[in-house]
Amino acid sequence: MPAISRQLASALAVLKEFQDTAPHPSVVPSGVLTAAQREVLIRAGYLSEIMKGWWLAKRPDRYSGESAAWYANFWPFVSRYLEKRFSKNYCLSAEHSLRLLTADQTVPPQVVVMVNRSTTYTVPLKQNTSILIYGDAKSFPTDRIQVEGVWVMALPEALTRVSETFVQRNPPTIATALRAVDRTALTRRLLDGGHSTIAGWVAGGWKTLGLKDNAAELLRLMNLGGYKVTERNPFGDDFQMPTPWVPKRAAHALRIEALWTSMRGAVIETFGKPPDKASEKSRFLAATRDMFTHDAYNSLSIEGFRVTAELVEKVRMGNWDPRNVPEDMRTRDALAARGYRHAFDAVMRSIAEILDGADPADTVRRDHQLWYAEMFRPSVEMNLVKLSDLAGYRNSAVIITDARHVPPHHDYVPECMETLFNLIKVEKEPAARAVLGHVFYEYIHPTMDGNGRTGRFLMNALFAAGGYPWVIVPFEQRRRYLDAMGAASEQGDAQPLSILLREQVELAPKYREQPPANVQRRYSRKP
């Protein structure tokens, strides 16, 4: 074995020994590896520096960019660093406490941290992120809890200390917090502190969220104490929760409901009046099947598969033979294309039921996991994926490449998916149903792979239910599409995605009008 290989193997063995027992195995502090071991791991792509004395362990073959591994491990690093630096003597600011408490796991450009001693400085980190440390012994929080291993203010204290600007700019976070908080504890804190201004928007928020009894009690008690309270709605007149409040809901599910409520207006405004009538079944299915080559090429290429029209046509015509043709057996892209064909056909069957009168929400709830299983059927047949891996939702962490949004922990995925399908069920506007259904399927990322393809299938099934054509997101718009998805999941802004998809609705007929020869020429090169 060459010397460099022996050095790498030795360094990896030391790293593995650390990771086998570490609570956050990808966050490596100084003292675990020697300088020589770190150097060989950095050269091989297994390690990168976060800051002086801290490194990030990653697999060089797993992530396409440096940001993916960092965003997935941002909060574990913050937890380890703050614990080592300050023990328990720190707390996130009210704003950042609220974000974590309401399941906003988007990686912020800067985290603000209070400590109970006199100091102020900034810690620069990877990917233009940082930690701002500032001392405030007099106002150090009295009521703290741990979330994601990080000390934060408890919800009642955070809500009474958050800035007015934050309240105005972050309706989903405030709505989630007001639904999740212990309302008696918050009422007592408002009374003890005489927070009449805050009580005004808390009462108005509770009333808007359907918690009218709690709002009335807060106002009565504040008035009894001699406080003048001006009630106001902190969300705006159009913010109406689609589902009633239910106790003991996970913050992740509550946040999805609040985000859906705040985002639907942009979708409805962009799409305007929906089609007057539903699609005619036979015509829709025939037209959509004619678009398969276009759809498969673009959808698979967006996900990073190297697909040509020749490969798609080979699969469509049944000429792909992995058992007897070595090239087909080795082609990952062909497996993806064949799986896409299986899934596409399953989606067509679901849409046929919807256009025959089946409830769209009930149909996609029942069938979305079947589409996913069909997508990976060729991989199961080749013994590359276990059949049991296709059952249910993911049971481990997953990341979205280059996205600051970190999907919910797998323990919360079933409740989040149930929340999503309930929202689809109660949403009356077909465009909002389709666009936001896609957004939040990606937001949750319920499976280990295939989320983008399945999410677009879900979107198109719901578009079809509303009388819209099958929508193709073209590969040449990939960057714009991913940026728009990021704006939706990270900033709660659905307008960029709505504009893009509305454009593609208008362009749908062009795909049906191209003869097969033109399709072959258009997609004859690899993306």
Structural domain count of the chain: 4
Residue type, 373: A
Instruction: Output DSSP code: residue 281.
Output: H
Task: Average the pLDDT over each of 138-142, 226-230, 267-271, 382-386 and give the range with the smallest value.
Answer: 382-386
DSSP string across 24-43: STTEEETTSS-HHHHHHHHH
Q: Contact 112/132 with Cβ under 8 angstroms?
A: yes
Q: Which of 195, 215, 240 is the endpoint of a domain?
A: 240
Average pLDDT over residues 255-284: 93
3-state secondary structure of 433: helix
Q: Contact 301/327 with Cβ under 8 angstroms?
A: no
* 519, pLDDT greater than 80: no
d(CA 462, CA 455): 11
| 526 pLDDT tier (thresholds 50, 70, 90) | very low
pLDDT given at position 75: 95
384 is a domain residue: yes
**Domain hosting residue 47, numbered range:** 3-62
Task: Give the contacts of 228 (CB within 8 A, at least 6 positions apart).
Answer: 196
pLDDT given at position 145: 97
* 236, pLDDT greater than 90: no
36 is a domain residue: yes
d(CA 162, CA 153): 11
Q: pLDDT tens-digit profile of 22-36? A: 989 999 999 999 999
pLDDT given at position 312: 56
246 is a domain residue: no
245 is a domain residue: no
Task: Average the pLDDT over each of 277-291, 321-335, 450-464, 507-521 and give the range with the smallest value.
Answer: 321-335
pLDDT given at position 64: 47
| 116 pLDDT tier (thresholds 50, 70, 90) | very high
Q: Contact 271/263 with Cβ under 8 angstroms?
A: no
* 493, pLDDT greater than 50: yes
Q: Are residues 290 and 389 in the same domain?
A: yes
* 242, pLDDT greater than 80: no
Q: Which of 140, 162, 184 is the endpoint of a domain?
A: 162
| 304 pLDDT tier (thresholds 50, 70, 90) | confident
Tokens of 416: 């989040």
Q: pLDDT tens-digit profile of 182-228? A: 999 999 999 999 999 999 999 999 999 999 999 999 999 999 999 99
Instruction: Output DSSP code: residue 54.
Output: E
* 338, pLDDT greater than 90: no
* 245, pLDDT greater than 60: yes
* 323, pLDDT greater than 60: no
Tokens of 8: 């790498």
Closest to 297 in 3D by CA, of 351, 350, 340: 340
Q: Are residues 295 and 341 in the same domain?
A: yes
527 is a domain residue: no
Q: Are residues 34 and 132 in the same domain?
A: no
Q: Are residues 178 and 156 in the same domain?
A: no
Q: Is the pTM of this model over 0.85?
A: yes
More confident residue, 330 or 13: 13
Q: Contact 307/527 with Cβ under 8 angstroms?
A: yes
pLDDT given at position 527: 38
Q: Are residues 210 and 329 in the same domain?
A: no
Average pLDDT over residues 383-399: 89
Q: Which of 25, 45, 62 is the endpoint of a domain?
A: 62
Q: Are residues 219 and 337 in the same domain?
A: no
462 is a domain residue: yes
37 is a domain residue: yes
How far lies 196's CA from each of 154, 162, 206, 289, in Å? 20, 14, 15, 61
Q: Are residues 74 and 101 in the same domain?
A: yes
pLDDT given at position 333: 73
- How far out from the chain centre does Cα 71 lie? 12
Q: Are residues 152 and 185 in the same domain?
A: no
The 3-class secondary structure across 66-117, one letter per residue, is HHHHHHHCHHHHHHHHHHHHHCCCEEECHHHHHHHHCCCCCCCCEEEEEECC
d(CA 274, CA 290): 24
Closest to 112 in 3D by CA, of 143, 141, 69: 141
Q: Are residues 293 and 382 in the same domain?
A: yes
Closest to 46 in 3D by CA, of 80, 24, 16, 76: 16
Q: How many contiguous H segments (helices) and E segments (strands) does the chain have? A: 25, 9
Q: Are residues 433 and 461 in the same domain?
A: yes
Average pLDDT over residues 464-480: 95
CATH, residue 295: 1.10.3290.10
Tokens of 156: 């009642």
Closest to 421 in 3D by CA, of 406, 404, 440, 405: 440
Q: What share of the chain is helix, strand, coil (3-state, %, to 5)?
A: 60, 10, 35
Phi, psi of 260 (to 5 degrees): -55, -45
Which range is most confident: 38-42, 349-353, 508-512?
A: 349-353
Average pLDDT over residues 90-115: 96
DSSP string across 471-508: ----GGGHHHHHHHHHHHHHH---HHHHHHHHHHHHHH
d(CA 219, CA 386): 58
* 56, pLDDT greater than 70: yes
pLDDT given at position 225: 95
* 72, pLDDT greater than 80: yes
Q: Are residues 389 and 285 in the same domain?
A: yes
Closest to 523 in 3D by CA, of 221, 211, 294: 294
* 99, pLDDT greater than 70: yes
39 is a domain residue: yes
Task: Average the pLDDT over each of 245-249, 291-295, 465-469 and give the range with the smallest value.
Answer: 245-249
Mean per-residue pLDDT over the chain, rounded: 90
pLDDT given at position 132: 98
Q: Are residues 378 and 413 in the same domain?
A: yes
